[in-house]
Each structure stands twice: as C-alpha cells, then as structure tokens.
Copies of this chain bind each other. A is one copy, B any other.
Amino acid sequence: MDLTEKMLERQEIFDGHIIKVHLDKVSLPNGETAFREIVDHPGGVGILAMDEHNCVPMVTQYRYAFGRNVLEIPAGKREEGEDPFVTAMRELKEEVGAVAEEWIPMGKLLASPGCYNETLYLYLARGLTFGDVHPDEDEFLEMQRIPFGELVHRCMDGEIEDAKTVAAVLKAKVLLDL
C-alpha cells in the first residue's frame, strides 16, 4: 500500500529563530483529508566523547521546556547547510572544551517524527584533548566527566532521560562491547 500523504494547502504559523511551524492540509491514502501540525527544526548533533579512562564529558543545562536541569551529552544545532561533522567538532569544543582525534559516526536519530522534523547526527569521539570552554552567550552549562559504566546504569535505571543521550550511550556500549 502507498502510505504517502500529499500536501493540499499550507498555513504558515510561526517563523522563529530556531523553529518554524506550519499547518498543512493533506490528502490521505484513502482519499480523505487531514491536517498535519508540523514543526521544522534545523537538526543537530550529539557527541558521546570518551577520554582515556572511559570517562565521558556530560553537560547539565536548564531546559526551559521542562522547567528543570537535564543531564545530556554535548549537543547543538546545525547552521544552515553545515556538514554535521563540522557542527559536532564545534559543539564539543564550545561545550566541554575538547578536541578529538578519532570520530566515529553512530547514525542519525529522528527525535519525534510525528510533528517535529529534527534529525540528530550522533558521533563517538575519542582521543580527547581538553582546553577552555566557549559556550554561546545565552547558554549556561555545567560540565562533568562521568565514567561510561555509570552512564550506562543511569540510562538503564531511568535517571538519564534525554533521548539522544540514551541512544548514544547504548549504541556506544554495543559498538565498543563495554
């Protein structure tokens, strides 16, 4: 069966600095119509970096959408047209002050494919050298290095909730057989 939905009309709702929102009327496979509420997001990257002791630089930041601090791997949005690998190198440097010798792509994630078209590229980074951090001017972060085994436990026991972090930690566990 062809499951394709085709756009019939589009209503532009919001054109923000990060997201754009539109409401589309679409035709369904059975010929009926429906509305789709869609958030366009530029996409980004998440980096699971591991030092020579298998410790991982993690960032805590206030996530206003949830009204609390969230513990995550370093991550950031892509600039328009930017190669995600360039984004990943920049964000690792900005957020935790690290440069990596080895970069291993760990695939893409669709954050929430129902309404939100964010694609996240995951990387494993090793061979780290740490220097100064340079967060964006409206970004306030706390960085700590956490042993990888502890991160796996904290993903499994539900303490770590950020989807890209859970996916990246468990992908790295399987990939590295740790």
- A28: interface (CB < 8 Å): yes
B155 touches A171 (CB 8 A): yes
Chain A residues within CB distance 8 Å of chain B: 1, 3-5, 13-14, 16-19, 21, 23-24, 26, 28-30, 32, 34-39, 41, 60-66, 69-70, 72, 77, 105-120, 138, 140, 142, 152, 155-158, 161-164, 166-167, 170-171, 173-175
A18 touches B140 (CB 8 A): no
- Chain B residue contacts of A1, Cβ below 8 A: 140, 142
- Output the least CB separation between A82 and chain B (Å): 17
A116 contacts which of B38, B61, B108, B112 (Cβ < 8 Å)? B112
A3 contacts which of B61, B72, B163 (Cβ < 8 Å)? B61
Q: How far is the CA of A167 from the CA of B166 in the complex (A)?
A: 6
B107 touches A158 (CB 8 A): yes
11 A-B pairs with CB atoms under 8 Å apart are A13-B21, A14-B23, A14-B37, A19-B115, A28-B140, A30-B140, A36-B65, A39-B65, A63-B110, A108-B161, A109-B161
Q: Which residue of B lies closest to A37 (CB)?
A: B16
Q: Which residue of B lies closest to A11 (CB)?
A: B14
Q: How far is the CA of A170 from the CA of B29 in the complex (A)?
A: 33
- Chain B residue contacts of A14, Cβ below 8 A: 13-14, 21, 23, 37
Q: How far is the CA of A34 from the CA of B41 in the complex (A)?
A: 19
B21 touches A21 (CB 8 A): yes
Q: How far is the CA of A62 from the CA of B6 in the complex (A)?
A: 11
- Output the least CB separation between A159 and chain B (Å): 8
B161 touches A163 (CB 8 A): no
A13 contacts which of B5, B13, B17, B60 (Cβ < 8 Å)? B13
- Output the least CB separation between A81 and chain B (Å): 19
